[in-house]
């Protein structure tokens, strides 16, 4: 299935999570997002006020990353971050779950965290996207994360931070899409996606949101492959 540019734009999270991102770069991210009518801008929490000022109250959403990029923070600290970005004007959050705990076999601990954080998002009206960092999980663990996100009532399960050893994989998205049992849980693919062809492949595999730093290039045929992983 092919997609129009407008359809693609409406499913993109234009992202800048570079460690050395400047104010000017974040401002440009927002202005480009408005020009191309993407789904959201995705940034660090401290960039939320600036982005909200530029984006205003229009259709482009504003996502902040939480517990990023390792996920090795307490549920309490992540909940505090959720409340803070909500108060600053975020509309969505991309939360890194403690995937290392799942790798250690602590399924119940991760399930509890996901449930607590999903509820924290619902209380302040934020869309919740749980990052599970698939590159470090085997297939059964990826399926466990799918179950955890479904049970918690998350809005999205997301493949990657872009800071791991690999990014989104088509097979993971396909398997999640085939295995998920609740329609409320959607899939976000992120990490290493740079071209329109890749975007369409992930959408056809079952993703409904794509995170990438090259949104403008994808939508304007300027992609040269020189963009960062996320």
Residue with tokens 């076999």: 105
SS3 percent helix, strand, coil of the chain, rounded to 5, is: 50, 15, 35
- Choosing from 13, 94, 144, 172, the catalytic residue is 94
20 is catalytic: no
Closest CA to 187 of 228, 146, 126, 144: 146
User: Which residues lie across from 127 on neighbouring strands?
Assistant: 92
83 is catalytic: no
DSSP 117-159: HHHHHHHHT-EEEEE--GGG--HHHHHHHHHHHHHHT-SEEE-
188 is catalytic: yes
DSSP 89-104: T-SEEEEE--HHHHHT
Cis check for the bond before 56: say yes or no (omega within 30 of 0).
no
Cis check for the bond before 69: say yes or no (omega within 30 of 0).
yes
- Choosing from 180, 186, 188, 216, the catalytic residue is 188
Residue with tokens 């040269």: 224
> Which value, in Å, is the radius of gyration of the alpha carbons in the chain?
16
Element (H, E) at 65: strand 61-66
- Choosing from 78, 129, 142, 158, the catalytic residue is 158
| Residues annotated catalytic, as ranges | 94, 158, 188
């Amino acid at each position: 299935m092919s997609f129009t540019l407008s359809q693609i734009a409406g499913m993109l999270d234009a992202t800048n999570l570079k460690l050395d991102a400047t104010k000017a770069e974040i401002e440009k991210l927002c202005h480009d997002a408005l020009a191309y009518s993407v789904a959201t801008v995705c940034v660090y929490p401290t960039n939320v006020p600036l982005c909200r000022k530029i984006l205003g109250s229009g259709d482009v959403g504003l996502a902040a990353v939480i517990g990023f990029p390792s996920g090795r923070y307490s549920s309490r600290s992540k909940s505090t971050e959720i409340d803070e970005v909500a108060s600053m004007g975020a509309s969505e959050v991309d939360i890194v779950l403690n995937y290392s705990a799942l790798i250690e076999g602590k399924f119940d601990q991760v399930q509890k965290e996901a449930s607590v954080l999903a509820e924290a998002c619902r209380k302040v009206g934020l869309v919740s996207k749980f990052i599970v960092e698939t590159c470090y999980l085997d297939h059964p663990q990826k399926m466990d994360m799918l179950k955890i996100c479904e049970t918690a009532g998350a809005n999205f399960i997301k493949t990657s931070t872009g800071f791991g050893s690999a990014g989104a994989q088509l097979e993971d998205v396909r398997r999640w899409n085939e295995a998920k049992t609740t329609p409320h849980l959607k899939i976000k693919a992120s990490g290493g996606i740079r071209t329109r062809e890749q975007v369409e492949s992930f959408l056809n595999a079952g993703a409904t949101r794509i995170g990438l730093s090259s949104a403008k290039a994808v939508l304007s045929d300027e992609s040269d492959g020189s963009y960062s992983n996320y």
